[in-house]
A = this chain, B = another copy of it.
């Protein structure tokens, strides 16, 4: 069957192969990119779902507006305001089927084959593939513990004149890095000066462990004249409430939002009104603050446990910044004491010891740093984290248990 040429741009995910091994009995997994099911507010969502079906069955079960269910758009605008973006009207956002669909609509609306797109190195895998399917040529901008290096980003913008710049400024996936306040202002200035779309993907911003992170680019944009005209923001309930709802949203300048809405009409007509009405009822019931407090506390404890264990078990063999939010520890193997120095090799040895994580290599669209790895502390409890990291310690010097096929 003759498939479209755009499919030649993407490969099957390297991670997928690894995930097949996770079914092995007894494996402790730090590989996932998802929240812990045990923390879902099932009771609250049950009540919200029943309220949606009993009080507004017509709306919850019928076709709805492509832009989203209006009461949910209002709740999401309020939610954004609590997070510092005061000036997002309900009409200034559309509801998307998870923020993955927001990325897809950005690609469909903006990217022509051959267009350049700058992403962080490393960045979210599904973004790379999503944009490549629209023919984007990806350019990797280096990051450090304070997020993307803005001087380098400016050079790359000048050099490549990209269609857009995609960033996860807060508790990035996989890096865990958070863009500093000063760099946020610089990014907004770059957007305005070079008239370049900047996409802020923000699924993790609410998952902070101590102090709140700097305001989002969206919340800061009023300080930088002209930046808002080039700023796109993707939000999601997946990491803070439940991924299964598939409720995300897209904030964008009006002309882009209108075109994204048109594209969405032909992508899935609209996001499940059943899920939207449930989410609206949930937010309206006022349960979100307690839910956020709960997940923050649990993930903070797990992040601390993982950091302590890594320092204790792997010592000089591994280098990482202790996360202040999000779901991930992003680490780099140093090769100290003759330990393994390649994340892919370490991942194979680790599976042999009964622990899984994702090597960092596939998260780079170019020039991968093979010494890196991503460890999620979200889904294992503290005891399992300690046991898993102890296994990592053993894997450091172990023989590989699996060979590459």
Task: Quote the shortest CB–CB distance from A112 to chain B (angstroms).
Answer: 5
Q: Flag whether A98 is at the interface (Cβ < 8 A).
A: yes
Contacts A97-B97, A108-B6, A268-B97; is A45 near B62 (CB within 8 Å)? no
Complex contacts, A98 vs chain B, CB 8 Å: 268-269
Pairwise interchain contact A110-B268, C-beta atoms closer than 8 A: no
Pairwise interchain contact B3-A97, C-beta atoms closer than 8 A: no
Interface size on A, residues (CB 8 A): 75
Pairwise interchain contact A263-B60, C-beta atoms closer than 8 A: no
Complex contacts, A49 vs chain B, CB 8 Å: 49-50, 53, 274
Bitwise, A268-307 to B at CB < 8 A (1) or not (0) is: 1111111101100000000000000000000000000000
- C-alpha spacing A269/B1, complex, angstroms: 25
* Nearest residue, chain B, Cβ from A37: B58
Q: Flag whether A130 is at the interface (Cβ < 8 A).
A: yes
Pairwise interchain contact A61-B34, C-beta atoms closer than 8 A: no
Q: Flag whether A10 is at the interface (Cβ < 8 A).
A: yes
Task: Quote the shortest CB–CB distance from A337 to chain B (angstroms).
Answer: 37
Complex contacts, A126 vs chain B, CB 8 Å: 265-266, 269
Residues of chain A in range 297-344 having any CB-CB distance to chain B below 8 Å: none
Pairwise interchain contact A34-B63, C-beta atoms closer than 8 A: yes
Bitwise, A11-45 to B at CB < 8 A (1) or not (0) is: 01100000000000000000000110110101001
- C-alpha spacing A54/B104, complex, angstroms: 33
Greatest chain B CB density within 10 A among A46, A245, A246, A255 is at A246
Complex contacts, A197 vs chain B, CB 8 Å: 1
Complex contacts, A163 vs chain B, CB 8 Å: 2
**A63: which of B45, B103, B111, B243 is its contact (CB, 8 Å)?**
B243
Pairwise interchain contact B244-A272, C-beta atoms closer than 8 A: yes
- C-alpha spacing A7/B132, complex, angstroms: 18
- C-alpha spacing A244/B259, complex, angstroms: 23
Pairwise interchain contact B109-A4, C-beta atoms closer than 8 A: yes
Pairwise interchain contact B1-A272, C-beta atoms closer than 8 A: no
* Nearest residue, chain B, Cβ from A253: B1
Residues of chain A in range 231-245 having any CB-CB distance to chain B below 8 Å: 238, 242-245
- C-alpha spacing A104/B101, complex, angstroms: 12
Task: Quote the shortest CB–CB distance from A228 to chain B (angstroms).
Answer: 12
Q: Flag whether A100 is at the interface (Cβ < 8 A).
A: yes
**A112: which of B4, B10, B246 is its contact (CB, 8 Å)?**
B4
Contacts A3-B109, A112-B5; is A50 near B60 (CB within 8 Å)? no
- C-alpha spacing A54/B45, complex, angstroms: 10
Complex contacts, A259 vs chain B, CB 8 Å: 3, 7
Contacts A37-B57, A244-B61, A275-B275; is A263 near B1 (CB within 8 Å)? no
Task: Quote the shortest CB–CB distance from A22 to chain B (angstroms).
Answer: 13
Task: Quote the shortest CB–CB distance from A135 to chain B (angstroms).
Answer: 9
Complex contacts, A243 vs chain B, CB 8 Å: 61-63, 269, 273
Q: Flag whether A155 is at the interface (Cβ < 8 A).
A: no
Contacts A104-B268, A126-B266; is A244 near B60 (CB within 8 Å)? yes
- C-alpha spacing A256/B244, complex, angstroms: 26
Pairwise interchain contact B101-A267, C-beta atoms closer than 8 A: yes
Pairwise interchain contact A110-B3, C-beta atoms closer than 8 A: yes
Complex contacts, A245 vs chain B, CB 8 Å: 61, 272, 274
A-B complex: 7 closest residue pairs judged by Cβ atoms? A244-B273, A61-B242, A130-B266, A37-B58, A61-B244, A97-B268, A246-B272
Q: Can you show 20 pairs from A to B with CB atoms below 8 A apart?
A: A2-B163, A4-B134, A5-B112, A6-B108, A6-B112, A10-B262, A10-B266, A12-B262, A38-B58, A40-B61, A40-B62, A46-B50, A64-B244, A100-B267, A104-B268, A243-B269, A244-B272, A245-B272, A246-B269, A246-B273
